Structure formats: C-alpha cells, structure tokens
C-alpha cells in the first residue's frame, strides 16, 4: 500500500499500489523526469517479465485531457497496457451528456490529445468505473454541463472535466480531484450526494486541486470535509515559482486551519500541513495504522527500491 506523487515540475503524475492493484493517476512529465521511462519501466523490469511484449497495469487514469497530465502517453503505450482506462471521452455507448466535446478542449488537435483519441480510447467501453467499487470511488461533472451554465464558467471546460477520485487505503482516505476549478468543485459536491458523504467520512491526504493554485482554492470543499480540514497532509503538485508569478500556491494549504498535520513530519513545536512536489517525489507508505509514513525522495533509484521491496 504505497503511493508516489512525482516531482514533475508544474505537471501531475502519481502511481499507487494497493489491494493488489497497480494504478497510474495522471502521467505528466517535466524535462528532468518521465514517470514512465524513469520509474515504471525500470520498476517493472526488476519485477517481472512482459506479457505480449508489454507490461500490464490495472488502471490508467487521465483526469482530464491537458498536456501536463498526459504528456507521457506515447511512452506509456509503448511499454504498457492497462486493463482499465479512465478518462473523459466521447466513446459510443453512453448518453450524449457524458460525451466530451473535443472541439471545446483547449488545444484539441495537440499531439498528446490526438494520441489519446486515436490510440488509447477507441474500443474502451463506457461508463467510467473504479477497479474496485469497495475502496475506489470516482466522480465527475457530465461534460455537457461543463460547457457552461449559471454555475459553471465555460472557459474552465477542460479542467472541470476532471474525474475526481476518492480512495480508501488501509483505513486512510485519499482525495485526488485533478484540476477541478473552484466553480467545478462546488458544483460537483452540490450535485453528488455520494461524494458529500465520502468527504464527510474525512480526507487524510489531499492532492490539492489544480496544482494548489490560489484561483482554485475551495473553501466549499473544506466545509464538506469532516472537521473542515484534512487529517494528515495537503500535497501540492507544483512548480517552484517566484513571488510575482501568476502560478502562486495558496498558502492556506499549509495552515493548521485546513489540515491537522497528523504525519511523521510534524513535531510538538511545528505542525507540517503541506508538502510540495518541487521538493522531491513524495512517497507515502500507508501500511502503518497510526499515520502514513511520508518521505521526500530525490533519488530516482531510491524511489524504485521503495516499490521493488
């Protein structure tokens, strides 16, 4: 029961193993790190032989079709197959309101989106579903509604397509809402009573929506989380930025008002509520029952070892 949220600059990529499942959640990359070729391929080679020339994982999740969440899609396809692909799509066999309108996606003809549409999605059968309905839950706004209405700004279309995941891992609760914008987060929580009841059970680890940017901080989300704060840690998948950048992480994620800081970094003197991926890959071991053991790992080989053991 382990997870890593990779240091991929301003992008997002995460890999999770639990319940005998191997799950990739977004596959963005940066110049210095590719989660497929620098991590998953060497890890898979250490562990097992390929079947039919490719390695297999249980689920590939692409929360929404933005470059920073899918830029290694060709590398993935070269080395891996996934039993389940979970990504907003327009595949036949589902209601029109659930189909993505590709013309509204930012850069619809961009290389990675094209590859996703031409080589990954065809033949996959809707609806989007979890690998295990007991401990994995997914929520999304029907794409038709993301096009815009009184509550949703049409210019947030692509980010608001994000499929949000709630995982139960060894009693811990992990929430990963992709790049949902503030309006999308509120809309989804308002319209999905089952998400509301999950949030009311609590959130231990939050991977902050839309890279933790100020513009996406949702007090509505925290108002619906048990105790109005996360229990263990807020993880911000971001790029280190200068003061005057418009990509500024919201400082509230590091405040005890929004997280209890129950983790191995916190001491009596100082409570740690937030970790940023710009400091290194963030590795979480969920096996302990009192709190998850979290490490910041900068050495790629060391990270592979944690999973290979």
Q: How far is the CB of 185 from Zn ion (least distance, A)?
A: 13
Binding mask 140-159 for Zn ion (x = CB under 5 A): -------------------x
Residue 68 interacting with Zn ion (CB under 5 A):
yes
Our finding on whether 234 is near Zn ion (CB under 5 A) is no
The answer to whether 7 touches 14, Cβ cutoff 8 Å, is no
Residue 66 lies near Zn ion (rule: CB under 5 A):
yes
Q: Say how far apart CA 95 and CA 142 lie, in whole Å.
A: 10
Listed ranges 60-68, 115-123, 165-173, 212-220: which one lies at the site for Zn ion (CB under 5 A): 60-68
Instruction: Judge whether 102 and 117 are in contact, CB under 8 Å.
Output: yes
SS (H, E, C) 273-294: CEEEHHHCEEEEECCCCCCCEE
CB-wise, 41 or 221, nearer to Zn ion?
Answer: 221
By CB under 5 A, residue 7 contacts Zn ion: no
* 235: phi then psi, degrees, rounded to nearest 5: -105, 125
Nearer Cβ to Zn ion, position 68 or 183? 68
Count of CA atoms in the C-beta half-sphere (13 A) of 40: 33
CB of 8 to Zn ion, least distance (A): 10
Tokens of 98: 């659930």
**Token pair recorded at residue 183:** 């309006």
Shortest separation between residue 159's beta carbon and Zn ion, angstroms = 4
How many H helices and E strands in the chain? 10, 13
Q: How far is the CB of 76 from Zn ion (least distance, A)?
A: 17
Nearer to Zn ion, 105 or 232 (CB): 105
Q: Closest Cα partner for 92 from 130, 59, 121?
A: 121
* Residue closer to Zn ion (CB basis): 43 or 282: 282
For residue 49, how many other CB atoms are within 10 A of its CB?
7
Q: 44 or 86: whose CB is closer to Zn ion?
A: 86
- Segment near Zn ion (CB under 5 A); pick from 88-96, 171-179, 260-268, 270-278: 171-179
Strand (E) or helix (H) holding 159: helix 157-160
Supply the minimum distance, in Å, between the C-beta of residue 180 and Zn ion.
9
Structure tokens at 93: 């066999």
Rounded Cα distance between 177 and 209, Å, is: 6
Interface with Zn ion includes 182 (CB under 5 A)? no
Among 179, 183, 238, 250, the residue binding Zn ion under the rule CB under 5 A is 179
Positions touching Zn ion (CB under 5 A) are 66, 68, 159, 179
């Amino acid at each position: 029961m382990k997870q890593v949220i990779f240091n991929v600059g301003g992008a997002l990529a995460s890999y999770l193993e639990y319940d005998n499942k191997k799950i990739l959640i977004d596959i963005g990359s940066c110049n210095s790190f590719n989660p497929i070729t620098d991590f998953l391929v060497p890890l898979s080679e250490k562990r097992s032989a390929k079947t039919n020339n490719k390695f297999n994982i249980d689920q590939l999740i692409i929360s929404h079709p933005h470059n920073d969440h899918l830029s290694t899609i060709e590398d993935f396809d070269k080395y891996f197959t996934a039993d389940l692909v979970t990504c907003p799509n327009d595949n036949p066999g589902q209601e029109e309101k659930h189909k993505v309108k590709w013309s509204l996606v930012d850069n619809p003809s961009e290389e990675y989106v094209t590859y996703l549409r031409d080589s990954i999605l065809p033949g996959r059968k809707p609806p989007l579903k979890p690998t295990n309905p007991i401990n994995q839950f997914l929520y999304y706004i029907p794409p038709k509604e993301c096009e815009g209405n009184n509550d949703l700004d049409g210019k947030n279309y692509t980010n608001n397509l994000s499929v949000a995941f709630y995982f139960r891992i060894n009693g811990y609760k992990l929430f990963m809402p992709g790049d949902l914008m503030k309006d999308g987060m509120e809309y989804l929580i308002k319209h999905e009573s089952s998400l509301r009841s999950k949030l009311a059970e609590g959130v231990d680890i939050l991977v902050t929506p839309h890279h933790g940017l100020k513009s996406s901080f949702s007090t509505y989300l925290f108002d619906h989380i048990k105790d109005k704060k996360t229990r263990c840690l807020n993880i911000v998948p971001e790029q280190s930025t200068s003061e005057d950048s418009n990509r500024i992480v919201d400082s509230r994620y590091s405040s005890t008002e929004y997280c209890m800081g129950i983790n191995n970094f916190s001491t009596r003197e100082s409570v740690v509520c937030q970790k940023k991926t710009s400091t290194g890959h963030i590795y979480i071991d969920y096996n302990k029952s009192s709190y998850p053991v979290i490490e910041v790992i900068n050495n790629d080989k060391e990270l592979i070892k944690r999973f290979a053991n």
